[in-house]
Chain A
Amino acid sequence: MTDAPVHLADGRWVGRSLRRVEDPALVRGQGRFTADLKADHFVRFVRSPLASGRIVKIEAPEGARMFTAADLAAVKPIQPMLHKFNYRPIAQPILARDVVRFVGEPVAAILGRTDAEAEDFADQVELDIETLDALVTADEALGDNAPLVHDEAPRNVIVEGIVKTPDFDATWAKAAKIVRIDARSRRQNATPMEARAGHASFDPSTGRVTLTCTSQMPHLFRTTVCDALDMPESELRVIAPDVGGGFGQKMSVSPEYVMLVFLARRLRTSIAWTEDRRENLIASYHSRDQQLSLEGAFDADGKLLALSGDIVANIGAYSCFPTTCGVEPLMAMAELPGPYDFRAYACRSRGVATHTCPIAPYRGVSRPSITFVLELLMDKAACELGIDPVDIRRKNLIAAFPYTSATGLVFDEASYRETLEMAAKAIDVPAFRVRQKAARAKGKYLGLGFGTFSERTGYGTPAFAARGMGITPGWEQVEMAMDPSGFVELKIGASPHGQGLRTTLSQIVADQLGINPNRIRVVHGDTDRTPYGFGTFASRSLVIAGGASVLAARKVRVKLLQIAGHFLEAAPEDIVLEDGNAKVAGTDRTIPIRDLARAAYHGAHQFQKDFVPGLAETATYDPGGTFSNACHVAIVEVDIETGGVKIEKYLVAEDAGRIINPMIADGQIHGGVAQGIGNALYEEIVYDETGNILTSTLADFMPPTAHEIPPIELHHRETYSPATITEAKGLGEGGGIGAPAAIVNAINDALSPFGVSVAEIPATPQRIRAALRAAEQRS
């Protein structure tokens, strides 16, 4: 078997907007989510009300069963590892021991026979914590006499990266113009509609525990929980049933899951935890929270010669597992150059610990922030050099491939310029400028903004190995078996949470085997039933699990052709599989595939001695990775009186390689853009100066509704990836990456008559008004 791309262009199923097999159960309310399971006991976590403090006393109310750190002497903390010389390994305790480090940190677990009883007990716990000084922002944590969040991390820096290309200083000196941006990407929460939940059940007959939970990576959850509890992995089964969205938040293994399995084993019972929304907002993982300063050295024509960056990420109180807190700052440093062609680059990136909720990956990871700041820089440079924003991008986008970036990333191929041109044409920039001028004359402020980006997708172990994580994910494995009735079961290590992967994979496999997708069942999210894998994150499942599925299907196909050759008395090369039949090309000799399947199991005697009965195959795929790209464009209207922003038009020109199911692909982009719009304009986790969270309901956090999300116009370009088997690139995250850049650039374009701009997301009315007020005061 080779990894060469297979051409599925004449495939009958790939490329079609097939209805999702996932849907019938979900629209009937027959989805099976973690919180639907019954349990004998319910657990509530008693959480710290203080950002920083020393635990003096925890006392359970009468009749309640409570566990604290003292009960967990034999349980190991969660230890995310990064093998980088400048990473300080910080372990996260399962329950806080001696000190608390953020509001929401679990300090005790308390049980009830019902959820309500557990909640009542939790309310009555006497918790005495002596207040210590809290560090809430990265600036405070980096301050000269700041206390330490962890003794192991001097100056509270947990991870730091520095790059500088040898030609940097010399190139910098040649600049005609230095343009600077100081931007902030505020703290946000991925906010899946289903919060986190877990249900651990002990089976006395086997001694095993089944943990059903909201996980994007069940196998890694199993490994991590077993490591903490020092138990064999064979004793734990992890099931991710229907998962109500994850967006990265559900890939980190949090202490609560370790606690659930610990309790189920200790009490030999079933035990459930369903996080409430307040817990999700204060104590699940947060994201973003970065200060980014960028300087670009341009020549007089607007060509970017060199880029220098300083990135400070407030990573919260602990490092998340498995990606570690390096995921945002280090990836930002590596991928900051984005789609632009320049050779000289210098960057420093720091992850700083504070007394806030830990940060974890969230759709797009670092790219929404770096795209935002880089695209702001491009617009500012265009403005200062008197160049059109489209022209400055034209001048600087990478055009020749393969291309090796200043940080050593290899872009196999992409269509940065083509998608920019598609987008610019579709939006009709000259017509907009006329309209903008006329509107301005009437006191209506319209703005146009672009967000161009490159998104690394579907990368395998080499890319992860370079990161030096304690565990190196990357590959995916599948097990495929055609049963004697000719139906296929495909078991995958990937574990989707709404992306329709069962549908898209069945399309891919159907083409390989010449059968209808409805004869293929995709099994996922159960460590007992599926091969080890890394789950679903980083726009990888369709690319990597899809590639592995093709490889496995090819093996099954080879065998089917062999068997068909025997019955049809033809050479396997002359046989095609289509419409459920094996046919000798150019003849009317044909046999149903299900007859071949039956023969593979029940007719082994008919074949040669070396024939291996059955039609079960395994395959592994581990690609080097590829890049999707897109250009997002927004037209907004800014209300100068209120600072409110209305999106008048939103357009995406994107290239994610071969599209397996256009309907699903469009849906992923819509959803990503909507989250990006939320990130750009509304959503923010706000702490007060003591480290208490002021935004602990959805009414405060403000995810957008149908009102705020405009129709999204999509333009596709399919540049088939030479780097992946299916020629697809990933697209799960892209929608969210371009939106903050496009929207804030549009806002700034609208604000240009006032000589002000914003460089902060979310660009709330308050921030826009503050910028305008500053201008009013100046004049």
Chain B
Amino acid sequence: MTDKVDITLAVNGRDYDIRVEPRRTLADTLRDDCGLTGTHLGCEHGVCGACTVIVDGAPVRSCLMFAVQAEGKAVRTVEGLANGDTLHPLQQAFMDHHGLQCGFCTPGFLMLATGVLEREPDISDEDLVDVLSSNLCRCTGYQNIIKAVRAAAAEMRAK
């Protein structure tokens, strides 16, 4: 067993002072130490993308990153996506286009898409499919997820 270290994690604009083992993943830390269970774990080996969060503007798999590596960086999770009562355009689009069924993969897809659309608002439809193919969904067959993200992209561009 390894000694714990004190770190401060900035998540969704709020600081969390926590003690973690250095081996603890960012995903486990967000879920268990920060109480932000919206980030889900589907594989813990970097394939499914359910654990995707945004670190310093880029989508990352939080199961493949240690919490200590995220210290000093800005972490965003699905809990920080909506602006109070107003849903993020992606959240709204997922509901409007039936882009979720069980909803387990949804936070990962939302954060993946958010990260990508913020960095590349004019991304082409083909590239979007490319990017979305980095996460797995077992329920929806992807078509409605693609539809939702394209719709949200158009809306975000229009704004």
Chain A 25-46, CB within 8 Å of chain B: the 1/0 string? Answer: 0111111010110100000000
Chain A 668-684, CB within 8 Å of chain B: the 1/0 string? Answer: 10111111000000000
In the bound complex, CA of A117 to CA of B1 (Å) = 8
In the bound complex, CA of A703 to CA of B144 (Å) = 18
Q: Which B residues lie within 8 Å of A20 (CB)?
A: 95, 98
Report whether A195 and B42 are in contact in the complex, using a CB–CB cutoff of 8 Å. Answer: yes
Q: Which A residues lie within 8 Å of B50 (CB)?
A: 193
Known contacts A29-B107, A674-B141; is-contact A706 B132 (Cβ 8 Å): yes
Q: Which A residues lie within 8 Å of B129 (CB)?
A: 706-707
Q: Which B residues lie within 8 Å of A31 (CB)?
A: 38, 103-104
Size category of the B interface is 35 or more
Q: Which of A230-246 contact B (CB under 8 A)?
A: 242-245
Report whether B1 and A245 are in contact in the complex, using a CB–CB cutoff of 8 Å. Answer: no
B159 within 8 A of A: no
A383 within 8 A of B: no
Report whether A707 and B106 are in contact in the complex, using a CB–CB cutoff of 8 Å. Answer: no
Q: Which B residues lie within 8 Å of A498 (CB)?
A: 101-104, 139
Known contacts A29-B107, A120-B1, A498-B139; is-contact A705 B134 (Cβ 8 Å): yes
Report whether A244 and B103 are in contact in the complex, using a CB–CB cutoff of 8 Å. Answer: yes
Known contacts A28-B79, A194-B102, A697-B43; is-contact A673 B94 (Cβ 8 Å): no
Report whether A194 and B106 are in contact in the complex, using a CB–CB cutoff of 8 Å. Answer: no
Q: Which B residues lie within 8 Å of A671 (CB)?
A: 101, 138-141
Shortest CB-to-CB span from B19 to chain A, Å, is 12
Known contacts A698-B136, A709-B143; is-contact A29 B79 (Cβ 8 Å): yes
Report whether B141 and A670 are in contact in the complex, using a CB–CB cutoff of 8 Å. Answer: yes
Report whether A27 and B31 are in contact in the complex, using a CB–CB cutoff of 8 Å. Answer: no
A277 within 8 A of B: yes
Q: Which of A244, A672, A735 contacts B102 (CB 8 A)?
A: A244
Q: Which of A24, A663, A706 contacts B142 (CB 8 A)?
A: A706
B154 within 8 A of A: no
Q: Which of A30, A115, A699 contacts B38 (CB 8 A)?
A: A30
Chain B 84-102, CB within 8 Å of chain A: the 1/0 string? Answer: 0001000100111010111
Report whether B98 and A28 are in contact in the complex, using a CB–CB cutoff of 8 Å. Answer: no
Chain B 11-52, CB within 8 Å of chain A: the 1/0 string? Answer: 000000000010110001001100011111111110110100
Q: Which B residues lie within 8 Å of A276 (CB)?
A: 44
A500 within 8 A of B: yes
Q: Which of B99-150 contact A (CB under 8 A)?
A: 100-107, 110, 129-130, 132-146
A711 within 8 A of B: yes
Report whether B36 and A29 are in contact in the complex, using a CB–CB cutoff of 8 Å. Answer: yes
Report whether A193 and B104 are in contact in the complex, using a CB–CB cutoff of 8 Å. Answer: yes
Q: Which A residues lie within 8 Å of B145 (CB)?
A: 706
Report whether A277 and B43 are in contact in the complex, using a CB–CB cutoff of 8 Å. Answer: yes
B64 within 8 A of A: no
Report whether A705 and B38 are in contact in the complex, using a CB–CB cutoff of 8 Å. Answer: no
Q: Which B residues lie within 8 Å of A120 (CB)?
A: 1
Q: Which of A27, A195, A706, A711 contacts B110 (CB 8 A)?
A: A27
Q: Which A residues lie within 8 Å of B91 (CB)?
A: 27-28
Report whether A193 and B105 are in contact in the complex, using a CB–CB cutoff of 8 Å. Answer: yes
Report whether B44 and A499 are in contact in the complex, using a CB–CB cutoff of 8 Å. Answer: no
In the bound complex, CA of A28 to CA of B107 (Å) = 8
Report whether A705 and B37 are in contact in the complex, using a CB–CB cutoff of 8 Å. Answer: no
Report whether A698 and B95 are in contact in the complex, using a CB–CB cutoff of 8 Å. Answer: no
Q: Which A residues lie within 8 Å of B143 (CB)?
A: 670, 709, 711-712
Report whether B37 and A29 are in contact in the complex, using a CB–CB cutoff of 8 Å. Answer: yes
Shortest CB-to-CB span from B81 to chain A, Å, is 7
Q: Which B residues lie within 8 Å of A244 (CB)?
A: 40, 42, 102-105
Q: Which A residues lie within 8 Å of B42 (CB)?
A: 193-195, 244, 277, 698
In the bound complex, CA of A20 to CA of B141 (Å) = 18
In the bound complex, CA of A314 to CA of B153 (Å) = 48
Report whether B38 and A245 are in contact in the complex, using a CB–CB cutoff of 8 Å. Answer: no
Known contacts A26-B106, A245-B101, A706-B129; is-contact A675 B138 (Cβ 8 Å): yes
Residue among A115, A276, A705 facing the most chain B CB atoms (10 A cut-off):
A705
In the bound complex, CA of A348 to CA of B141 (Å) = 35
Report whether A707 and B130 are in contact in the complex, using a CB–CB cutoff of 8 Å. Answer: yes
Report whether B102 and A192 are in contact in the complex, using a CB–CB cutoff of 8 Å. Answer: yes
Q: Which A residues lie within 8 Å of B138 (CB)?
A: 191-193, 245, 247, 671, 675, 703
Shortest CB-to-CB span from A715 to chain B, Å, is 15
Interface size on A, residues (CB 8 A): 58
Chain A 163-176, CB within 8 Å of chain B: the 1/0 string? Answer: 00000000000000
Report whether B107 and A705 are in contact in the complex, using a CB–CB cutoff of 8 Å. Answer: no
B78 within 8 A of A: yes
Report whether B94 and A27 are in contact in the complex, using a CB–CB cutoff of 8 Å. Answer: yes
Q: Which residue on chain A has the smallest CB distance to residue B48?
A: A698
Residue among A24, A30, A666, A670 facing the most chain B CB atoms (10 A cut-off):
A670
Report whether B100 and A703 are in contact in the complex, using a CB–CB cutoff of 8 Å. Answer: no
Report whether B101 and A667 are in contact in the complex, using a CB–CB cutoff of 8 Å. Answer: yes
Q: Which residue on chain A has the smallest CB distance to residue B137?
A: A193
Q: Which residue on chain B has the smallest CB distance to residue A37?
A: B37
B62 within 8 A of A: no
Q: Which residue on chain B has the smallest CB distance to residue A664?
A: B98
In the bound complex, CA of A180 to CA of B132 (Å) = 42
Shortest CB-to-CB span from A121 to chain B, Å, is 10
Q: Which A residues lie within 8 Å of B95 (CB)?
A: 19-20, 23-24, 27
Report whether B82 and A28 are in contact in the complex, using a CB–CB cutoff of 8 Å. Answer: yes
A497 within 8 A of B: yes
Known contacts A20-B95, A498-B102, A712-B141; is-contact A705 B136 (Cβ 8 Å): yes
Shortest CB-to-CB span from A764 to chain B, Å, is 18
In the bound complex, CA of A17 to CA of B87 (Å) = 21
Q: Which A residues lie within 8 Å of B105 (CB)?
A: 193, 244
Q: Which of A172-200 contact B (CB under 8 A)?
A: 191-195
In the bound complex, CA of A699 to CA of B49 (Å) = 12
Known contacts A244-B40, A245-B138, A706-B133; is-contact A699 B47 (Cβ 8 Å): yes
Chain A 98-132, CB within 8 Å of chain B: the 1/0 string? Answer: 00000000000000000111001000000000000
Q: Which residue on chain B has the smallest CB distance to residue A17?
A: B98
In the bound complex, CA of A26 to CA of B31 (Å) = 16
Shortest CB-to-CB span from B20 to chain A, Å, is 10
Q: Which of A19, A29, A193 contacts B136 (CB 8 A)?
A: A193
Q: Which of B40, B78, B141 contacts A194 (CB 8 A)?
A: B40
Report whether A242 and B102 are in contact in the complex, using a CB–CB cutoff of 8 Å. Answer: yes
Q: Which B residues lie within 8 Å of A697 (CB)?
A: 43, 45, 47
Q: Which of A243, A668, A698, A709 contacts B45 (CB 8 A)?
A: A698
A617 within 8 A of B: no
Shortest CB-to-CB span from B90 to chain A, Å, is 8
Q: Which residue on chain A has the smallest CB distance to residue B140?
A: A671
Known contacts A27-B95, A664-B98; is-contact A36 B37 (Cβ 8 Å): yes
Q: Which residue on chain A has the smallest CB distance to residue B92?
A: A27
Shortest CB-to-CB span from A726 to chain B, Å, is 21
Known contacts A19-B96, A247-B138; is-contact A699 B45 (Cβ 8 Å): yes
Shortest CB-to-CB span from B141 to chain A, Å, is 3
Q: Which of B43, B79, B81, B104 contacts A245 (CB 8 A)?
A: B104
In the bound complex, CA of A497 to CA of B101 (Å) = 8
Top 4 closest pairs, chain A to chain B, by CB: A29-B38, A244-B104, A498-B102, A26-B103
14 contacts between A and B (CB under 8 A): A20-B98, A23-B94, A27-B91, A27-B106, A28-B91, A29-B78, A29-B107, A193-B48, A277-B44, A498-B102, A498-B104, A668-B101, A698-B43, A698-B136
Name 12 extra pairs, CB < 8 A, besides A192-B104, A193-B104, A675-B138. A19-B96, A27-B110, A28-B91, A30-B38, A30-B79, A194-B42, A498-B102, A663-B98, A664-B98, A670-B141, A671-B138, A705-B132
Binding site for A on B (CB under 8 A): 1, 21, 23-24, 28, 31-32, 36-45, 47-48, 50, 77-79, 81-82, 87, 91, 94-96, 98, 100-107, 110, 129-130, 132-146
